[in-house]
Amino acid sequence: MDSLVLEICTQGLHRYHVINQPRTRVGRAFDNDIILSEPTVAPYHLDIIRHDDGNIELHNLADINPARFNGVPDTSITLDTLPINIKLGRVMARIVQPDQPVAETKTLAGNGRSKQLFSHAAWGVLLIMLCLIVSSIDFYTHTFSSYKWTTMAKFVARETALYLAGLIFFLATLERLIFNRWEVKPLVVVISLTYLIFQLISPLIGELNYIFTSQLPELIFEITWYAILIPFIASLYLIHINHQRPNKGILFAMLLCSPLIILSTIEVTQALGYLDNFSASAGYHRDLSALNWQNADNISISSFIEQAKTLSPGKISD
Amino acid sequence: MHRRSFLFIFLAFTLQLLQSAPVQAQPLESKAIYQMHEENVFQIRVLNRETGKKSSIGSGFIVGDGRQVATNFHVISQIVSEPERFYISYLSKNGRSGELKLLGLDIAHDLALLGSELALGQANETSALPPKGSPVFAMGNPHDLGLTIAVGTNGGILNQTDDSRILFSGSLNPGMSGGPTFNDKGEVVGINVATSSNAISFIVPSVYLNRLVERVNKAPLNANQNLKAEVTQQLIAYENGYLKGILDQDWPKIQLRQLSVPGAISPTIRCWDNSRKLPDKALYKRYQINCANQNQVYLDSQNKFVGSLNYHYFWLESDELNSLQFYNLYQKLNESKIGGRASQEVVSNFNCKTWFVDVSQQTFKTSLCRREYVEYEGLSDILFTAALTGHDNKGFFVRLTMTGIDYDSSLPLIQKFMETIEWTP
């Protein structure tokens, strides 16, 4: 009589018990063969009986939260093919053959080439340093009074170092709670890279706004960044570094990023006038540029007045 | 005997002279003026038809044919906003009351003429304004506390209000609006209209009341007239006349660093330096000038005042910031807002458009925004801004706002405004 394997999954954790006795009892009571410490499991919940001919008999023993076999409630079931899914209260379990094929081995986060980027501590340190340098440049270009270097250091520490540390801590904790993993080094790399890309692209978007005398580049960037790129990066991280299944990785990424997706979508649709929102302020185009590249031609005062005559008032809100 | 005869003749002659001199009215004191007019100055009340309770109060007085009552438009403006909900009533000192109908409006000068079906009493006579410094007496019902009289002096007609206000040194209080202001002969020289702090109050000259009475006698408002359309029409007519007056005259200029810009383009406008103190370590300099008119017009309780014409100049320069830093600062400061806390029930959203316009061989990034009044078709608020571009370390922008104005009529003013700006290399 070959042995079987009972796979028990609780809160994302998988445990495996080899069943080689003719009869195995599962439940919360301490005299069970397999003890499940879960409040929704009955003291004696399931009996697994193995026959010499290879058949397996499963008996539900619970009055409360009775066991379901392949999704069907039944008091007992006899079967000769495996695997079979069993639900015991809130616990998902599965009986499989010992020779059941297992998923391919995932490479460690950062094995091979990717290790150079995602898993090496030096990259993390370097990228954090780059973030701090970019933050210092941002401080320099947005400070219009003379200052001491300590002021800049305080700004960089407060605005960037603390922000990045807080974000890394939050996401690492979330990852630990949801997926039971600590992936701090790859997380540092991904977050620093994302921060750097954002800091480098933002000024270019301002220039595009000026060139086209339109808020459209900014709006496109906002919706692309928050509603597409950030969830995309989160999905890649969950699939390739956290080794979640693609559909699960995408789902979690979307859930995690849903506040960003919702807020950016509302903001952009509002700015494009698709929502019937009232604003007492005049949303005119106020970007200015040191490069002064403009797509629109200059016009004379009289042409401006002629064109201004066609300006209609804004929409009346319902 | 001879000396006695001479004395007698002298006394007799003096008496004769005194008797034959022309009779002149003696200046009245506040007590006499109060007693003379207490019966023909009323409390004007706007009452809710449902509850019968007061919604707003002011003062008024009998004019014209003795059935007409003058007051301020802002006292009874709810009648224009919600005629089906409110009605106007007067209350005399002796408790007599009755309903009044709206006969005519003068929006520009905040006047309203009301009418009664019954004769109300002796109409007050109007007169020209006495010389500056003369005593004048304002009567009214402050804070619903009863009829009173405030004594002050005539401070003259204010040209910054487009001659629509007299400065009064007495203390007017809420509830006295619409009451009469008398000279020392008891004749009406104006109508109480507004107050400021420290006994600075304002009166509408009686000449505008006379014109309103004359107009109403010829063509009173009829009961079914669209009052909001009438208000809009009057306001646009006044504003257009005001703008035409501004456009027809030469504009003084202000030199702001390398730019020559329009100064106080009307006697109603005052310009002030508004340059704020910069931080000691600032690596730039900035200068600001604000110009604003004083002759705003009361529209209703939601919009309050319209007809403002404000412009604001802003110059920024730096020898120490690089162009990237400079433009970050310039863009941060380039923010123009239009005043007021308008809601969606009152105005539409703004619609804005931006152009690059050549002004005096310089390029200005120019934006024009417009919104309209929901209940006053034809009235718009306008925001015009123009920011100088193309200089590494010099920036300038102007913001011009106009409220409650006909959009098309504002464009010639904007055009002249831009044409007047001159760049000095």
* Best residue in B283, B328, B345, B391 for a mutation probing chain A (most A CBs within 10 Å): B328
DSSP A53-87: TS-EEEEE--SSS--EETTEE-SEEEESS--EEEE
Domain spans of chain A, in order of start: 4-96, 112-271
**In this predicted structure, what is the pLDDT of residue B1?**
40
Contacts of A278 in chain B (CB under 8 A): 343-344, 349
Mean pLDDT (chain B) is: 89
- The token pair that represents A18 in the structure block: 């080899």
CA distance B115 to A135: 72
- Residue B149: pLDDT band with limits 50, 70, 90: very high
- The token pair that represents B220 in the structure block: 């009173």
CA distance B184 to A312: 54
Q: Which residue does chain B place closest to A287, by CA atoms?
A: B331
CATH code: domain A4-96 is: 2.60.200.20
What percent of chain B has a predicted confidence (pLDDT) above 90?
A: 72
**In this predicted structure, what is the pLDDT of residue A14?**
83
**In this predicted structure, what is the pLDDT of residue A130?**
95
**In this predicted structure, what is the pLDDT of residue A116?**
61
Q: A311 to chain B nearest CA, in Å?
A: 8
Other CB atoms closer than 10 Å to residue A84's CB: what's the count? Answer: 15
Contacts of B387 in chain A (CB under 8 A): 286, 288
Determine the angle formed by the axes of helices A184-212 and A216-224, rounding to 10 degrees: 160
* Residue ranges of B 279-298 with Cβ closer than 8 A to chain A: 279, 281-284
B329 part of contact set with chain A, CB < 8 Å: yes
CATH code: domain B30-221 is: 2.40.10.120
Domain spans of chain B, in order of start: 30-221, 233-423
CA distance B116 to A122: 92
A23-27 vs A34-35, strand pairing mode: parallel
* Best residue in A275, A303, A304 for a mutation probing chain B (most B CBs within 10 Å): A304
Cβ of B328 within 8 Å of Cβ of A141? The answer is yes
Per-residue pLDDT of B40-80, as tens digits, reads: 999 999 999 999 898 999 999 999 989 999 999 999 999 98
**In this predicted structure, what is the pLDDT of residue B381?**
94
Chain A contact residues (CB < 8 Å to B): 140-147, 213, 278-290, 292, 294, 296-302, 304-305, 307-309, 311-317
Q: Is the pLDDT of residue B422 over 60?
A: yes
Please state which CATH class domain B233-423 belongs to. Answer: alpha beta
Q: Is the pLDDT of residue B17 over 60?
A: no
Low-confidence ranges of chain A (pLDDT < 70): 1, 11-12, 107-117, 275-276
Per-residue pLDDT of B304-361, as tens digits, reads: 789 999 999 999 999 999 999 999 999 999 887 776 578 888 899 999 999 999 999 9
Q: Is the pLDDT of residue B15 over 80?
A: no
Per-residue pLDDT of B211-238, as tens digits, reads: 999 999 999 988 788 899 999 999 999 9
Amino acid at B85: R
Which residues are paired to B194 by β-bridges? B202
Q: Is the pLDDT of residue B25 over 60?
A: no
Mean pLDDT (chain A) is: 89
Which residues are paired to B126 by β-bridges? B188
Cβ of B348 within 8 Å of Cβ of A284? The answer is no
What percent of chain B has a predicted confidence (pLDDT) above 70?
A: 92
**In this predicted structure, what is the pLDDT of residue A282?**
86
CA distance A240 to A222: 26
Angle at B20 between CA B17 and CA B22, to 5 degrees: 120
Q: What is the dihedral angle through the alpha carbons of B126, B131, B134, B137, rounded to the nearest 10 degrees? A: 20
* DSSP state for residue B199 in the 8-state scheme: T
Residue A188 backbone dihedrals phi, psi, to 5 degrees: -60, -45
Q: Is the pLDDT of residue B201 over 60?
A: yes
Q: Is the pLDDT of residue B28 over 90?
A: no
Q: Considering only A114-128, B76-90, B111-125, which range has the smallest mean pLDDT?
A: A114-128
